[in-house]
Amino acid sequence: MARLFGTDGVRGLANGHLTAELALDLSVSAAHVLAERGIFAGHRPVAVVGRDTRISGQFLEAAVVAGLASAGVDVLLLGELPTPGVAWLTAELGADLGVMLSASHNAMPDNGIKFLARGGVKLDDAIEVAIERRLRDPWHRPTGGDVGRVRRHPTAVAEYAAHLVSTITRPLQGIKVVLDCAHGAASEVGPRALREAGADVVAICAEPDGLNINDGCGSTHLEVLQKAVLEHGADVGFALDGDADRCLAVDSAGEVVDGDQILAVLALAMRESGELKDDTVVATVMSNLGFVQAMKAAGLGVRQTKVGDRYVLEAMKLSGFTLGGEQSGHVIMSRHATTGDGLLTALHVLDRMADTGRSLTELAAVVARLPQVLVNVPNVDKSRADEDFVLAAAVAEAEAELGDSGRVLLRPSGTEPLVRVMVEAGTAEQAQQIADRLAAVVDQQLTLT
């Protein structure tokens, strides 16, 4: 049987793959596994539960709460709150377990369950495997006063907003910001936090109805934000995704500022303040070569990982690095958060603007992005991508043609029978030509028979 847990919890079509029964069983199993590992030793266990704005989150929340309480775990309901807010409150409230119900940037019909360990960190893979193995095992059910209590934690939004504001060093008066909340989990706390920090905030896509999360808005549809920034004459705009763990930006001219550029802006700020451990930032292999070149020119190191914020976080934990992120806008600032946090990212970009008096256009200009082309080649045997000699020769020829002015990356998909061909070059035309040429070789050499 395929693993239930992916790289970011259990995710799928709500009431299709992800049913109330599965949510309840997973919660019971998680309680048992953590109890067996001594996590609850000596006290009544406590879990916090939050969700994004999807209508399916209501019945999944009820199922998770039923599972936990029936297993003897007390539950604090946080309501609609970003994933990083749930992670922070898991640590802040001293909870033994955190649960977030969200499918992030996925369309509304999907949903997901993410479990967080004490301290607000992702569960180890070994614990996830153990939870799957314990699903639906016979168990002794507590009765009477031993069942869990359930109560709401009504100050979750206020506490998380105050935490976010406390991480910046100066007021943001005079900066006009458009914030696209994707009709998601940050629809209330996002505008509140930025206003409490002093910014003049225009909130858009902040009217969730349970059905409109990520629908033509947020970090996957930046054209909405670009238009709003120009219409309102704003200094900057930020777009979040459904659970607000990622953030992309738009400058005053309506130009997109991606995760690589945001990471560069924050890296330079943290180097100046002495907060950048070993003058090193963690990024993935998909980061634009222009970002890597800019960081090296500034005297900063770049530690690159496989694609996925979990790999960025692992590298940060291993060496104690304080900043990491992805081109997609997942930015992790480990002094303040255990996961990517879109609102935290936005506030620290604004803090940098306030500190320097420079526009985001000026700050982001440190990165001269190389044109990047990505071509997906479907229906191929991705397992042979690293072994085919003809393909290796084609890649070597392309790399020789590019020299130091570009690069080639072939990356098998983690979930589909396809290979991704990424090429960066001095011009978009050259990048497209080389990517198409290599995609043809991949298709010819690796096509499934």
Catalytic residue set: 104
The residues pairing with 378 across neighbouring beta strands, listed in sequence order, are 418
Buried b / exposed e over 209-238, threshold 16 CB at 10 Å, is eeebbbeebbbbbbebbbebbeeeebbbbb
Tokens of 328: 């997609």
SS3 track for the chain: CCCCCEECEEEEEECCCECHHHHHHHHHHHHHHHHHCCCCCCCCCEEEEEECCCCHHHHHHHHHHHHHHHCCCEEEEEEECCHHHHHHHHHHCCCCEEEEECCCCCCCCEEEEEEEECCCEECCHHHHHHHHHHCCCCCCCCCHHHCCCEEECCCHHHHHHHHHHHCCCCCCCCCEEEEECCCCCCCCHHHHHHHHCCCEEEEECCCCCCCCCCCCCHHHCHHHHHHHHHHHCCCEEEEECCCCCCEEEEECCCCEECHHHHHHHHHHHHHHHCCCHHHEEEEECCCCHHHHHHHHHCCCEEEEECCCHHHHHHHHHHHCCCEEECCCCCEEECCCCCCCCHHHHHHHHHHHHHHHCCCHHHHHCCCCCCCEEEEEEECECHHHCCCCHHHHHHHHHHHHHHHHHCEEEEEECCCCCEEEEEEECCCHHHHHHHHHHHHHHHHHHHECC
Cα 105 from Cα 319, distance rounded (Å): 29
Bridge partners (DSSP) listed for residue 304: 283
